[in-house]
Amino acid sequence: MNLKSVGEFGFIKRISQGCLIRPQHILKGIGDDAAAFASEPGQITLLTTDLLVERIHFLRNATSGYNLGYKSLAVNLSDIAAMGGTAREAFVSIAIPEECETDYLEDLYKGMKHLAAEFDVNILGGDTTGSKADLIINIALTGIAPREEILYRHTARAGDRICSTGFLGDSRAGLHLILNDIATESDEFGQLSDAHLLPRPCLREGRFLARQDGVHAAIDVSDGLSSDLGHIAKQSRVGVRLYAEKIPVSKNLKAFCASFNSDPLEYAIAGGEDYTLLCTISPDKADAVSENYLREFGRPLYLIGEVTVSERMELIWPDGQIKPITSSGWDHFVETGLGNRVF
Amino acid sequence: MNLKSVGEFGFIKRISQGCLIRPQHILKGIGDDAAAFASEPGQITLLTTDLLVERIHFLRNATSGYNLGYKSLAVNLSDIAAMGGTAREAFVSIAIPEECETDYLEDLYKGMKHLAAEFDVNILGGDTTGSKADLIINIALTGIAPREEILYRHTARAGDRICSTGFLGDSRAGLHLILNDIATESDEFGQLSDAHLLPRPCLREGRFLARQDGVHAAIDVSDGLSSDLGHIAKQSRVGVRLYAEKIPVSKNLKAFCASFNSDPLEYAIAGGEDYTLLCTISPDKADAVSENYLREFGRPLYLIGEVTVSERMELIWPDGQIKPITSSGWDHFVETGLGNRVF
């Protein structure tokens, strides 16, 4: 069955089920000219939006509807996490090619709704239309945070320790497996593939870090460690020094790199789409934050480097050698030829 | 020059100029993982989003960048107007085909920024990416309104008078002129073409109506009079009776219909994209609201019909004849074959 037989309003009716999971403070969700909801006293509103385009960000035949819906929302949730916020209301715009099956679309909304429910997010509205070529999804997502706890990119200070909430590079390795149609039946390869397809937005981690004393700046790893730290460096007018042996690399990525004769560090630094958080912490508070983090999550907060005054980005090898690094991330136009993320 | 030579971040830097025109209460605009702004005490947040897809909603070679940018924002502003709100923060996602010239895009942002500045709207963020085929624009727009003054679709009551803030059908006639490449040098045809390309969002009118005693429901005319009143009727579980001779038709549309041997009423009822507001008003308050409206704007609020208990939609001719009307609007999938708006 395709959309022509269901119609726009029929489709909206079908997908509206299960969208409102936190009805408090919602005056109007799907079905009017705009959604209406009460803003929360004493809280700042956060808003992020991500546009996903077929053949740029994903290949429809290489991803299930469920995974596409899940990840479309996950990338937005990750942006709210990187601000230290709590996610609230999602608005889903979708442009649907005529031949796209409703089964695929219902699966897509299923993936989105599962993740939304897990993080207490309402799907409050959006827009549905046709498309002549590609499937297009735009999600706008609001969040909230207390004014004093918001984590920005421009507030890192020289001397801050740089930390990551998780492993880096797994997602890029998973992408390699998916694009080259390499079997992911082994646990190791399966987990790499999942890291790419079903990344966990670090909302709890972001909120936790935002409440800790001494955490100054944060960003999520979407374009890649070097590119995303580059944003913090540029906006904070500081430099970055990373320690090669401290960058957290999973045993899965090591196994992958052993199989494919490649360098885990390259995947970790330039990979992208890990959706872990990077943060900078005042040097006198870094130990306390790390201990609190370990106690809260049962996982370490990985210390990977320091913020410097130099405005350069550099990587220190265990032998003391210094290698300059660049923001060689995922500029959609120049470096990768209009983008090449695929999930 | 195209985007490949400027790059995503270079492009964002260029278009960021002039986006923040109302800096009060804005903690962070373009440049972080999410925008951050203070919510306004005692106000409800409104949020609407519209996705515009090349070859579905517009033809790139038939519209200037300026007009495309202007209208992309106008349709969202109109949704906030229809809720009785004040527009606040806009978030622009854009997917850009490789061959698209930066001149066209800068013109697009110029059109958007002119309209944004006029209605005191900040452009606070968005997303920029590539596209393999079509130019895609999604705007998410927030607004605010006092809780007791929001105008919904589901709150019309039997007996209410139905009013329109302006002429109906002009936009559809303008579209006909544009699509058929008919010269619009005459004042009349030029104004019809402008009604389609550069619609005025009725934000002041919506806010005014929302403050008036007795105004129960509202919607903007995007899909067409019958289709949009159909939404009010369905959601309010009422019917609609329109008086054919009271439906406001401009002298321009009459001249157009005389030239092309067509019926102005058909354009007015099924046309769409007029972006006037329709509202329903308690019968004992309708005269007072109309008088206040005329005094405020120097233009009449057109009374066009009544809300009925029947759950039917009907059109009454001057001779008393009754013709049933249907919501034959712009369902993007079923009725028009994946949409056929073009501007």
Which DSSP string do the residues of B143-199 spell out, in sequence order?
EEEEGGG--BSTT--TTPEEEESS-SSHHHHHHHHHHTT----SHHHHHHHHHHHSP
Cross-chain Cβ contact A140/B40 below 8 Å: no
pLDDT of A279 higher than 70: yes
Instruction: Give the phi and the psi of residue A324 in degrees, each rounded to 5.
Output: -70, 140
Q: Which residue in A13, A16, A32, A76 has the most chain B C-beta atoms within 10 A of its own C-beta, making it the best mutation to test that interface?
A: A32
Tokens of A30: 């799907």
CA A278 to chain centre: 11
Q: How far apart are CA B56 and CA A63, in angstroms?
A: 25
Q: What is the per-residue pLDDT for A169?
A: 96
Instruction: Give the phi and the psi of residue B112 in degrees, each rounded to 5.
Output: -65, -45
Q: Which residue in B30, B40, B45, B123 has the most chain A C-beta atoms within 10 A of its own C-beta, making it the best mutation to test that interface?
A: B45
What's the whole-number mean pLDDT along residues A173-191? 89
CB contacts, 8 Å: A105 with chain B: none
Q: What is the per-residue pLDDT for A1?
A: 65
Q: How far apart are CA B324 and CA B301, in angstroms?
A: 25
Q: How far apart are CA A111 and CA A105, in angstroms?
A: 10
Lowest mean pLDDT of A142-146, A291-295, B14-18, name the range: B14-18
Cross-chain Cβ contact A339/B40 below 8 Å: no
Chain B: closest CA distance from residue A142 (Å): 9
- How confident is the model over A60-71, as pLDDT tens digits? 988 999 999 999
- Considering only CB atoms, A32 lies closest to which of B33, B57, B83, namely B83
Residue whose token pair is 């951050």: B36
What's the whole-number mean pLDDT along residues A177-199? 90
Three-class SS state of B12: helix
Q: What is the per-residue pLDDT for A326?
A: 82
* Model pTM score: 0.94
All domains of chain B, ordered by start, with CATH? 3-147 (3.30.1330.10), 161-324 (3.90.650.10)
Cross-chain Cβ contact B337/A36 below 8 Å: no
Cα distance from N-terminal residue to C-terminal residue, chain B: 25
Confidence of residue A338 (pLDDT cuts 50, 70, 90): very low
- Considering only CB atoms, B133 lies closest to which of A27, A82, A134, namely A134
CB contacts, 8 Å: B55 with chain A: 132-133
Q: How far apart are CA B120 and CA B150, in angstroms?
A: 20
The angle subtended at Cα A318 by Cα A314 and Cα A319, nearest 5°, is: 100
- Considering only CB atoms, A98 lies closest to which of B35, B37, B338, namely B338
Chain B: closest CA distance from residue A242 (Å): 22
Chain B: closest CA distance from residue A221 (Å): 10
pLDDT of A148 higher than 60: yes
Q: Count residue pairs from A and B with Cβ separation < 8 A.
A: 265
pLDDT of A152 higher than 80: yes
Cross-chain Cβ contact B95/A132 below 8 Å: no
Q: Which residue in B27, B33, B229 has the most chain A C-beta atoms within 10 A of its own C-beta, making it the best mutation to test that interface?
A: B33
Cross-chain Cβ contact A331/B129 below 8 Å: no
Cross-chain Cβ contact B33/A79 below 8 Å: yes
Residue whose token pair is 């050698």: A321
Contact B229, B278 (CB under 8 A): yes
- Considering only CB atoms, B51 lies closest to which of A89, A129, A145, namely A129
The angle subtended at Cα A159 by Cα A158 and Cα A163, nearest 5°, is: 105
CB contacts, 8 Å: B332 with chain A: 8, 128-130
Under 8 Å CB-to-CB from B319, ≥6 apart: which residues?
none
Contact B262, B308 (CB under 8 A): no
CA B13 to chain centre: 29
Q: How far apart are CA B174 and CA B195, in angstroms?
A: 7
CA A169 to chain centre: 13
Contact B49, B136 (CB under 8 A): no
Cross-chain Cβ contact A47/B9 below 8 Å: no
- Considering only CB atoms, A138 lies closest to which of B3, B28, B51, namely B51
CB contacts, 8 Å: B125 with chain A: 47-49
Cross-chain Cβ contact B85/A153 below 8 Å: no
Cross-chain Cβ contact A91/B333 below 8 Å: no
In order of A160, B204, B275, the CA distances from B293 in angstroms are: 60, 11, 18
One-character DSSP codes across B244-311: GGGS---HHHHHHHHHHT--HHHHHHH------EEEEE-TTTHHHHHHHHHHHHSSPPEEEEEEESS-
Ordered per-residue pLDDT tens for chain B, 343 residues? 677 777 777 888 888 889 999 999 999 999 999 999 998 888 999 999 999 999 999 999 889 999 999 999 999 999 999 999 999 999 999 999 999 999 999 999 999 999 999 999 999 999 999 999 999 999 999 999 999 999 999 999 999 999 999 999 999 999 999 989 887 778 889 999 999 999 999 999 999 999 999 999 999 999 999 999 999 999 999 999 999 999 999 999 999 999 999 999 999 999 999 999 999 999 999 999 999 999 999 999 999 999 999 989 999 998 999 989 887 644 444 333 323 344 4
Alpha helix locations (H) across chain A? 3-6, 8-16, 65-82, 102-118, 170-179, 187-197, 203-211, 225-236, 251-260, 264-270, 286-297
Please list the residues that pair with B324 across neighbouring strands: B314
Instruction: Give the phi and the psi of residue A54 in degrees, each rounded to 5.
Output: -55, 140
pLDDT of A331 higher than 60: no
Mean pLDDT across chain A, nearest whole number?
92
Instruction: Give the phi and the psi of residue B223 in degrees, each rounded to 5.
Output: -85, -20
Q: What is the per-residue pLDDT for A337?
A: 31
- Considering only CB atoms, A34 lies closest to which of B40, B48, B134, namely B48
How is the beta sheet containing A136-146 ordered, strand by strand? Answer: A122-131, A86-97, A136-146, A43-53, B35-38, B26-28
One-character DSSP codes across A29-47: -TTSSSEEEEPPTTEEEEE
Chain B: closest CA distance from residue A336 (Å): 10
CB contacts, 8 Å: A133 with chain B: 55, 132-134
Q: What is the per-residue pLDDT for B157?
A: 98
The tally of CA atoms less than 13 A away on the side-chain side of residue A98 is 11
Chain A: closest CA distance from residue B141 (Å): 9
In order of A91, A286, B129, B137, B139, the CA distances from B76 in angstroms are: 14, 45, 21, 12, 7
pLDDT of A218 higher than 80: yes
Q: What is the per-residue pLDDT for B339?
A: 34
Cα distance from N-terminal residue to C-terminal residue, chain A: 25
More confident residue, A82 or B333: A82
B119: nearest Cα among B34, B35, B37, B206: B206
Cross-chain Cβ contact B333/A150 below 8 Å: no
Cross-chain Cβ contact B49/A125 below 8 Å: yes
- Considering only CB atoms, B152 lies closest to which of A32, A38, A334, namely A32
- Considering only CB atoms, A152 lies closest to which of B7, B28, B127, namely B28
